[in-house]
Structure 1
Amino acid sequence: MGHQTAEETVQPGNYVIIEKRNYRKLCKVTEKGTFTLGKEQVEMVHLLDKPYWTTFKMLPSKTSKKHVSLEVTLRAETMEDIRQGLSSGTDNRLITDDGTSQKLSKEEIEDLREAGKSSKEIVTSLISNSSSFTTKTEFSQEKYIKKKEKKYFRCLTIRKPTISMIQEIYFRQDSSKINFLRMDTLSQILSYSDVKSEGKFLLYDSGTSGLCPAALLSRIGADTSGVMVYLHPGNQAHLTLVQAMNFPGELVNRMMTVNLYNFLRIYEQGKEEILKELVAKHCDWKRTKEMLASDGMSPAKKAKLDNQGENGLGEEKIEGMETIENGVCHIPNSFKEPKWLGETRKAVDCFKKGKADGLIIVTKEHPASIVNGLLSYLGASRPFVIYHCHREPLQETYVALKQRKDVVNLRLFSNFCREYQVLPNRTHPEIMMNDLGGYLLTGFLVE
């Protein structure tokens, strides 16, 4: 194996996809941490400095009975040829499921696992000690082997996170965390909004745990000139899945995360008006703190008030505060500029120079007012895409946009794709498929 760079190997703080058979899980790697697979706690230390796509064999830990250690193996074990030489029945009508067909007890099976036996060896032992296996049909035997292989499989693989794998994991676990956004819908959002490596893109996302901004950053790519402004509601942006993609720092720095209300307010009112409001609020906080201190404030209340004063006040001191409305605040030197203000000002300056090449709105709220507020920042002859998990809000938005003369080629649609199980003599639609996926409203803004 050749020399591996840090980007090609797992480092502390990186996110990885743990893949065991058809099951996948997203984990953040730490030096002394563990992750859960079923009822087992697997030690993460064995993943460090290993290249992606490394396969491990799960072994009993030498330090703790509750933990599982990992050992690098060249390939994962399979159940090939396990049925070779065994006969099968024609139907299962004479088989009675009374729990007496398996001769091995639970304790004996557990002893096999603790002895480090492979899944193939354990399943072979189960088959040889089953009095009903040879009377099952060939299809039932395959189903039995797959079920036992899933239970006793002792290998896993680490993979580098991708947008499709992260979406699959979250959609399977709890689709509401990503606003019921399917992968085919997400791909169409990127296509219809024309996201590429160059240009400026405006995104409003209110409920996908960072899946949409991560997908846009992935499409823009590293070492390019593309820029994205990520507007969000509330005080904090959801960046969980952006962090999970292990993007390089220069790519993440080209994403500006800004509160929607602050962005619109500073763009319209300007920086000076916002600074005046912040100075006045800072002075009120300062006076309140001094009054409570003179009345004998408890240490707990003092710490709480200090925390409230520091939240949103950042660390950068504003230059020339003495020139802003003399008399408003008698202690200008103690005022510090909020961190969010610098990021918001950077985003505003970006749009003062030119308009966006694409607008994407993925929302849980009614999108009509958001669309009307953000369309003015979109360039002429540029596309916009609106996603909502329900059809009715988009229908109302469609009617409102249809009345505008500067919006053309409006389309409201759903691209539901049904998944199929494809196997010999048993191809059919997936029985337990999730039918959610949302709706898209697309169009172009013209002059």
Structure 2
Amino acid sequence: MEEEIEREIVRPGSYIVVQKQNFRKLCKVSEKGTFTLGKEQIEMEQLIGKCYWSTFKMIPSKNGKKNITLILAEKAETSEELRKGVTSGIDNRSITDDGTSQKLSKEEIEDLREAGKSSNEIVGCLIENSTSFASKTEYSQEKYIKKKENKYFRYLTILKPSIAILQAIYFRQDHSKINCLRMDTLSQILSFCDVKADGQYILYDGGSCGLAAAALMSRIGSKTKGNLIHLHPGNQAQMTLVHAMNFPDEQLKRMHTVNLYTFLRLYHQGEEVIIDELAKKYALSRKLANDVKRKNSNEDENILNIKRPKFEDSNMKADELIVHENNKVDDTTSLVGSFKMPRWFDETREAVNRIKESVAQGLAIIGREHPLNIINELLSFLGASRPFVIYHCHREPLQETYVALKQRKDIINLKLFSNFCRGYQVLHNRTHPDIMTNDLGGYLLTGYLVI
């Protein structure tokens, strides 16, 4: 119970979502840090120790003109009271927009902001000093108040990151960063993959900033027996949104993030072959390093005030090497003994052991590459009568994969479809589709593996 309460409190190093009206931004909290909101720098110090979903008022800071500090507020102000008791006109034909209707100058309005006035007070002053506001129609008055409220609004709310919130933020900013994954598409991936709290699942994620892995781990949950083998291309996995979810350590330990190629090699070739190859590569790299050092030492022996060049092996990480600078070794065999296994090897070995002990109960492939070769390799790790789902933002790769899988006798119930969903704005007397709807939603190929 205490652990759950702690997770509802903002701590240094945790991620938060800052919401100011309709705008949201993902930030990482630090004790003396700041985050940018428009042209202002917001100080984070007052956020630490507060609960998620708290509301703060923005006031000028003593640390700079554009710096803003936060104080806890019970609730944010609304502009509902500004609309009460205000007369309105019949139409706007008699209003001329020549910039002279507002009596307050820009300097006077800026002085109100620097004095720490609330948005209601500033907007109220603008209404009082406007010669054309009373002549506008009711709809125009609401539009004017909303526009000014958005500009001078001085409250923000701290939200707890969730899959839906993170997807909305990234899809609105740049949908290509999350591989054009819509929220309805992501929910169908979880459904077709049959993700449960006590199962073991395989995910190949080729570029969604960790959104797919975060969604599967969120569905598996904390303090469960579920595991996720997270396969990725390249040297580093995209884990931004996995970290943003603030998962507890015990939950993160049940997600094994490994390279796809290394995972397949270790599974099929065994540990001894991989260890022997890594040791020989390490020994060869150290022998070349020693040769370069001796050569540079001989060339610079009689030259003063010149530093010897420092050799660094670009193929191995510094914390993966054990270097003996005083030992002069001429053959690669004696260097093998100083080899230390890289960190990724233990993680890959753990993932391989997991899949050898128990087959996966579901398989999801979300990539930018052609999925045919990937699905052919990973289907051998899927249990009998278990589902798989493939997502791609284009239709053609899935069509070719569908034709290839249709020829196999161990694949049934193949379905290729698009799940485009149009949003609608529902208001009184003006219901219509969203004008700025993005039609990117990708395509899904689902099926079952049988024996």
Matching residue of 1:162: 162
CA contact (8 A) 1:59 1:68 kept: yes
Call closer, same or farther: CA 1:4–1:369 in 2, change over 3 Å: closer
Q: Residue 399 of structure 1 aligns to which amino acid in structure 2? A: V
Residue 376 (structure 2) aligned to one of 367, 372, 375: 372
Query: Which whole-Å CA distance do the structure 1 matches of 2:14 and 2:389 have between them?
Result: 32
Query: Which whole-Å CA distance do the structure 2 matches of 1:299 and 1:243 have between them?
Result: 42
Shift of 1:328: 6.8
Matching residue of 1:174: 174
Matching residue of 1:323: none
Query: Which whole-Å CA distance do the structure 2 matches of 1:328 and 1:200 have between them?
Result: 42
Call closer, same or farther: CA 1:299–1:129 in 2, change over 3 Å: same
Q: Residue 409 of structure 1 aligns to which amino acid in structure 2? A: N
Query: Which whole-Å CA distance do the structure 2 matches of 1:114 and 1:385 have between them?
Result: 55
Shift of 1:312: 8.2
Matching residue of 1:204: 204
Runs of 5+ unmatched residues, structure 1: 316-326
Give secondary structure in 1 for the equivalent of 2:32: coil
CA contact (8 A) 1:127 1:133 kept: yes
Matching residue of 1:392: 396
Query: Which whole-Å CA distance do the structure 2 matches of 1:113 and 1:198 have between them?
Result: 54
Q: Deviations over 1:410-435 (max 9, x none)?
A: 11111111111121122211111221
Q: Deviations over 1:141-191 (max 9, x none)?
A: 111111111111000111110000000000011111100101110011001
The answer to whether the aligner puts 1:417 opposite 2:421 as a matched pair is: yes
Q: Residue 302 of structure 1 aligns to which amino acid in structure 2? A: K
Matching residue of 1:426: 430
Q: Deviations over 1:254-296 (max 9, x none)?
A: 0000100000111110011111111110111011011001011
Give secondary structure in 2 for the equivalent of 1:17: strand
Give secondary structure in 1 for the equivalent of 2:82: coil
Query: Which whole-Å CA distance do the structure 2 matches of 1:445 and 1:309 have between them?
Result: 40
CA contact (8 A) 2:171 2:180 kept: yes
Matching residue of 1:77: 77
Query: Which whole-Å CA distance do the structure 1 matches of 2:251 and 2:358 have between them?
Result: 21
Residue 317 (structure 2) aligned to one of 291, 301, 310: 310
Query: Which whole-Å CA distance do the structure 1 matches of 2:234 and 2:224 have between them?
Result: 30
Query: Which whole-Å CA distance do the structure 1 matches of 2:76 and 2:358 have between them?
Result: 53
Give secondary structure in 2 for the equivalent of 1:436: coil
Q: Residue 168 of structure 2 aligns to which amino acid in structure 1? A: E
Residues 24-173 of structure 1 correspond to what in structure 2 (within 5 A)? 24-173=24-173
Shift of 1:5: 4.3
Give secondary structure in 2 for the equivalent of 1:304: coil
CA contact (8 A) 1:368 1:397 kept: yes
RMSD of aligned Cα (Å):
1.8
Residues 266-281 of structure 1 correspond to what in structure 2 (within 5 A)? 266-281=266-281
Higher deviation after alignment, 221-230 or 341-350: 341-350
Query: Which whole-Å CA distance do the structure 1 matches of 2:307 and 2:392 have between them?
Result: 48
Residue 403 (structure 1) aligned to one of 400, 407, 412: 407
Matching residue of 2:345: 341
Shift of 1:310: 3.2
CA contact (8 A) 1:9 1:50 kept: yes
CA contact (8 A) 2:280 2:336 kept: no
CA contact (8 A) 1:314 1:339 kept: no
Matching residue of 1:321: none
CA contact (8 A) 1:35 1:41 kept: yes
Shift of 1:3: 12
Call closer, same or farther: CA 1:80–1:3 in 2, change over 3 Å: farther
Shift of 1:333: 2.4
Runs of 5+ unmatched residues, structure 2: 298-305, 323-330
Q: Residue 358 of structure 1 aligns to which amino acid in structure 2? A: G
Shift of 1:131: 1.4
Query: Which whole-Å CA distance do the structure 2 matches of 1:136 and 1:110 have between them?
Result: 25
Matching residue of 1:258: 258
Give secondary structure in 2 for the equivalent of 1:295: helix
Q: Residue 50 of structure 1 aligns to which amino acid in structure 2? A: K
Q: Residue 92 of structure 2 aligns to which amino acid in structure 1? A: N
Call closer, same or farther: CA 1:3–1:109 in 2, change over 3 Å: farther
Give secondary structure in 1 for the equivalent of 2:207: coil
Shift of 1:332: 2.8
CA contact (8 A) 1:181 1:438 kept: yes
Query: Which whole-Å CA distance do the structure 2 matches of 1:86 and 1:300 have between them?
Result: 81
Give secondary structure in 2 for the equivalent of 1:51: coil
Shift of 1:196: 0.9
Matching residue of 1:318: none
Shift of 1:95: 2.1
Query: Which whole-Å CA distance do the structure 2 matches of 1:235 and 1:378 have between them?
Result: 25
Shift of 1:22: 1.1
Matching residue of 2:227: 227
The answer to whether the aligner puts 1:446 opposite 2:450 as a matched pair is: yes
Call closer, same or farther: CA 1:53–1:240 in 2, change over 3 Å: same
Identity of aligned residues (%): 62
